[in-house]
Amino acid sequence: MVKRRTFRLGFLLLLAAAAAAALGESRVRIVVISFLEHRVQVELPPPPNDPQQALRWTTAVMNAPVIEGESIRTQIQSDAEIELECGSALRLAPGSELTFNRLRLSNDGVPITTVTLHLGEAFFTMQDADSRDFETRIGGGVIRMPDGGAKLRLDAPAGKPASVEVLNGQVLVQTGGLNETVHSTRRFEFAPRSGIRLLSLLKPDQWQLWSKRRDEAFQRAVLAAGPKPPAQFSASAPNPSSITPTPGYAPDVVQGLFNSMDSKNPVPGHPLQGPTPPVPHCAHRG
């Protein structure tokens, strides 16, 4: 089983490297599934040498790298968390599906990420260093965070309009040729041909509380890690209002912090797979 998982991780990294080389990018992104529970599945893109290969859903693996074109879905009573290099987390409640449409690193070291929430409920805790080139597609609109990190609740129910609640920070919403800034403690849905429509706030459900507990656990891991040498810190500090005020660690340190959140109580059947390979320093936000 360990050999199979090791082979799969290596294969995924080779796919990502090949794609990056073809596009002229200088580095491979390392984004991983940092937590999963029960039935979580992934669908990988076809290999570059066989673009017509049929796609299929397979069981997700803890700490497996995520590559461009990959989709992740949670079944009933299942949840998952995807970790970005500089401390951001994308969390999926049961019955959700998310695709990483773009997952690249430019030649000057800036990560470029685009995700689409097709279905379900998700919670994003975005740090500054991950957010400025991060784009979310949901319900016919696009959400960006040009002003820094934010916390979002995204709902995409089947057959109903999608909605987004800005829990912290602010976002730029683009839909139907219109641009609008939405601030903290606002919830909206995309209205056809008329931009967005403000809605009343939702009562926090068990998955919003779960996401909050994960944020708090990460914060405790940051504090427990103590001071780090200057080389392990990013040149870009997040906003003081950020949920995690000290995630200036280099990505490999951040990934170790995520791992420490579950090392004492790993999910049965999904043991931690050891350290994640180092990735570019988070100081691309000077």
pLDDT tens-place string over residues 13-35: 555 555 545 455 534 777 889 88
- Residues contacting 259, CB < 8 A, separation 6+: 34, 63, 272, 275, 276
**Encoded tokens for 177:** 């040729």
Ranges of the chain whose pLDDT falls below 50: 1-7, 9, 20, 22, 26-27, 229-254, 260, 263-281, 283-286
**Encoded tokens for 6:** 């090791």
- Cα 60 from Cα 155, distance rounded (Å): 23
Q: Report if pTM > 0.85.
A: no
**Encoded tokens for 84:** 């970005």
Specify the pLDDT at position 140.
83
Which of these, 210, 174, 209, 169, lies nearest to 186 by C-alpha position?
A: 169
Query: Bridge partners of 199?
Result: 187
- CATH 3.30.70.3420 at 2-48+55-260, yes or no: no
- Residues contacting 199, CB < 8 A, separation 6+: 163, 187, 188, 189
- Residues contacting 209, CB < 8 A, separation 6+: none
pLDDT, tens digit, 9 for 90 and up, residues 162-211: 999 999 999 999 887 888 899 999 999 987 667 888 999 999 999 999 99
Query: Which amino acid type is present at position 237?
Result: A
Domain ranges of the chain: 2-48+55-260
- Cα 285 from Cα 163, distance rounded (Å): 30
**Encoded tokens for 179:** 């641009």
What backbone phi and psi angles, to 5 degrees, belong to 281? -60, 145
